[in-house]
A = this chain, B = another copy of it.
């Protein structure tokens, strides 16, 4: 293709709001333009790269046995009401009323649409598994879209959904998707961390995220220095680091009895530590939470006997629209609200309002504690179960207990791991030190179990003629993010350095002046390379060589060939060949250039695709 026939508006200046390299370079190289906050137009150059990422994903999905379909982007709100997510998805979901007053959604994801399709088509176990995917427009109404297409409002996602008659079958496709993701990212030249993740509002059990490291990442990851563990902080676990129980120390006196002490004018945990000459790890910190749509059975939980339950949809499990919980954790640790919500099977969780704390604990905020607290269920972090001499709030203003012992003075309704793991904690697998990284999620795979298939009433007859509800998985990759992440990983100060697999063109030919013998050589070389199956951009513009070189670097085309009078007039006519990633060009005989480049390109593409 000739440069003059494309539309690549490169720019010297950078967009004022561009913080990260991909945003800056996609804008400067003329790959994208901003139409509005979080809404971008891909220009021809950007779209060429986008389509290459799309093609790689499509190939790997097809290879994994998934079949492509195309549901609408705008879907009826009814489906979201059936699954219960009309309420739980929050304001990030773009809702529309049509002219007839019907509720619609601009799809942020498509569990509902696929499950509705499968519900109508599935009757027998013989049809399972059903493996489907789409590559389609999605919308999330981000309040603060930023970093260009890395966190836009509209984006394209590959989302796959699978339906199974057994855990084994679900496992198998879950693994196949994971393997496909690894190949996709490898082919795109991306270094991706695969981490354990919380399945969040998607529901379900197992889940794995594919992350790229990024200083502006949305996610905090915990990684083991020994390389055997990686998890999103939302889900990360660590080895227990309990102090040995005092009673266990040989010859030490047994734990002292519970004692109530006055702690006037002591507001913060720091002041309390100073006042009691204790360390934060000696406290049981107790927080009151309000949880929404709790799926756990609370009928026998303290204070919950009369709580109303409801079904948000006919097939959905009964849930409690609102319930309060106390979460108790060792004082030097933080409660991880995502883990707590998961433990409670709640769709949402937040600290209770002050008035609720007063009503439930009988004391102002700051004096909650597990001893004698029977107005609501207590969730104990597992660290608390090792504490036999703790300080806790005494459910009374300016009062605390000390020498509180788990099992003797207090218990919990549930014991769970609700601790926020942080850098310096110990790997749950090997005990190595964990460190933190920021990451951006490119892909996410979920075992959803029967969350959607049950709530939306999907069933089939098994081989014994019994009605069963299928298991389900879902598997997403953000295309825009993947593309931007490739640039994050492959660029220098002059521009992008595309991996061959996603380069807009594989070779750029720059004639110093597009005329005479130079033009002839450039045209000939382009024809030769194209005949060999390569994609070539020929810079036929009437610009100074410096401008052409700068644009070539900015665009990031992997191979550059410069054709000039002097080298072409030599005894052996030659051109300068340079890889974008290298500093120096080398002279190559014109007659050999196309063959050499084609062979190198083929070899490199094969290496990216291998394995």
Contact = CB atoms under 8 A, between A and B. Distances in A.
Interface of A: 5-7, 9, 33, 35-36, 39-44, 46-47, 50, 65, 67-76, 78-79, 91-92, 94-96, 98-100, 104, 106, 113, 116-117, 120-121, 130, 132, 136-137, 139, 141, 143, 153-154
Contacts of A132: 7, 44
Contacts of A33: 117, 120-121
A68 B504 CA distance: 13
Contacts of A40: 72
Contacts of A5: 65
Q: Is the interface of A mostly helix, strand, loop or mixed?
A: mixed
Contacts of A153: 72, 74
Given A96-B94, A113-B35, A41 B70 contact: yes
Identical copies in the complex: 2
A153 B100 CA distance: 13
Given A35-B75, A35-B76, 6 more contacts: A35-B79, A35-B117, A39-B72, A41-B117, A44-B69, A44-B132
Given A117-B35, A121-B9, A153-B74, A69 B47 contact: yes
Contact of A50 (B9, B70, B136): B70
Given A96-B94, A106-B106, A137 B39 contact: no
Contacts of A7: 67, 121, 130, 132
A95 B50 CA distance: 28
A288 to B, nearest CB: 29
A70 B99 contact: no
23 contacts: A6-B67, A7-B121, A7-B132, A35-B117, A36-B78, A39-B74, A41-B69, A41-B70, A41-B71, A41-B72, A44-B67, A44-B69, A44-B132, A47-B69, A50-B70, A72-B153, A91-B99, A94-B104, A95-B96, A98-B141, A106-B106, A136-B137, A137-B137
A310 to B, nearest CB: 26
Residue of A65, A96, A143 ringed by the most chain B CB atoms within 10 A: A96
A39 B75 contact: yes
